């Protein structure tokens, strides 16, 4: 794949075996429409103030369905302490374990796969979230799993989005790249070109990382696809 290509033209279907980035983590996110409504007033934080939401790695922008055991939020799932990986990182490395905590009434949640661009592996600060996630490998997901590529996000090592949740002035917004239908950056080259400017403007979050986001689909459909035949 050349640098100027979109990943399978970004929002096309593809197989996990075709994903060029390094899988990093799994999560279950709330309904996109609800998340967009929730983030609608956050235009000051986004490169695109008139439509500030995107399907971000950042849970402040696109919240997870999962919350801690002491939280009680409508429509969310409290994760017990025995889910050790989630308790450590608030993300998942095993699709089967993730789905095991999803009751039928949360079937509308969207399962996503967060991947790091391979050119950025090793650039994150040691002893932070991203290197810790890289210590584990994603499991429970087949190489022939169908995914939908949603676009690229630029974030810090703690997965805070620098394009949707960091603030932007009019000058920076003139550099805003073309967006995918999911509200992320459409093309890898455009995302790469933006990274140095974002780092220059906000060195406290540098080095920044390029992430690709993929959707596996609704939790109910993902669970059904994973069931053994027969």
Where does the chain have alpha helices with state H?
A: 32-38, 84-89, 95-100, 129-134, 170-173, 188-201, 219-226
With a CB cutoff of 8 Å and minimum separation 6, the contacts of 31 are 108, 109, 110
Residue 1 lies in a domain: no
**Do 188 and 194 form a contact (C-beta atoms < 8 A)?**
no
Q: Within a domain: residue 83?
A: yes
Q: What is the pLDDT of residues 112-142, one digit of tens each?
A: 999 999 999 999 989 999 999 999 999 999 8
Whole-prediction pTM value?
A: 0.93
Q: Is residue 167 part of a domain?
A: yes
Q: What tens digit of pLDDT does each residue of 61-102 get?
A: 999 999 999 887 888 999 999 999 999 999 999 999 999 999
Residue 179: which pLDDT band, with cuts at 50, 70 and 90?
Answer: very high
Q: Looking at the predicted structure, is the pLDDT value of residue 106 above 60?
A: yes
Q: Is residue 16 part of a domain?
A: yes
Q: Which domain holds residue 187?
A: 7-225
- Is 72 domain-assigned? yes
In a domain, 125, yes or no: yes
Residue 230 inside a domain? The answer is: no
Average the pLDDT over 142-161 and give the result. Answer: 95
- Cα(45)–Cα(159) distance, integer angstroms: 15
Q: Would you place residue 230 in the very low, low, confident or very high pLDDT band (cuts 50, 70, 90)?
A: low
Extract the tokens encoding 147: 């995914």
60 within some domain: yes
Number of domains in the chain: 1
Is residue 166 a contact partner of residue 61, using CB atoms and an 8 Å limit? no
């Amino acid at each position: 794949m050349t640098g100027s290509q979109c990943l399978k033209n970004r929002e096309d279907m593809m197989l996990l075996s075709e994903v060029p980035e390094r899988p990093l983590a799994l999560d279950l996110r709330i309904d996109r429409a609800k998340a967009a409504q929730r983030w609608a007033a956050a235009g000051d934080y986004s490169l695109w103030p008139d439509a500030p939401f995107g399907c971000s790695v950042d849970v402040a922008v696109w919240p997870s369905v999962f919350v801690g055991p002491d939280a009680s939020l409508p429509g969310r799932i409290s994760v017990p302490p025995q889910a050790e990986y989630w308790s450590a990182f608030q993300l998942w490395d095993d699709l089967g374990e993730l789905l095991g905590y999803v009751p039928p009434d949360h079937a509308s949640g969207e399962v996503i796969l967060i991947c790091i661009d391979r050119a950025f592996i090793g650039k994150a600060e040691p002893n932070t979230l991203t290197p810790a996630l890289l210590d584990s490998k994603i499991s429970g997901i087949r190489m022939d799993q169908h995914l939908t590529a949603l676009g690229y996000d630029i974030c810090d090592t703690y997965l805070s989005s620098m394009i949707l949740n960091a603030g932007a002035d009019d000058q920076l917004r003139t550099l805003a790249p073309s967006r995918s239908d999911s509200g992320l950056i459409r093309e890898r080259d455009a995302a790469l070109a933006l990274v140095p400017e974002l780092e220059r403007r906000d060195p406290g979050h540098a080095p920044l990382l390029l992430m690709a986001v993929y959707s596996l689909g609704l939790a109910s459909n993902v669970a059904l696809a994973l069931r053994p035949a027969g």
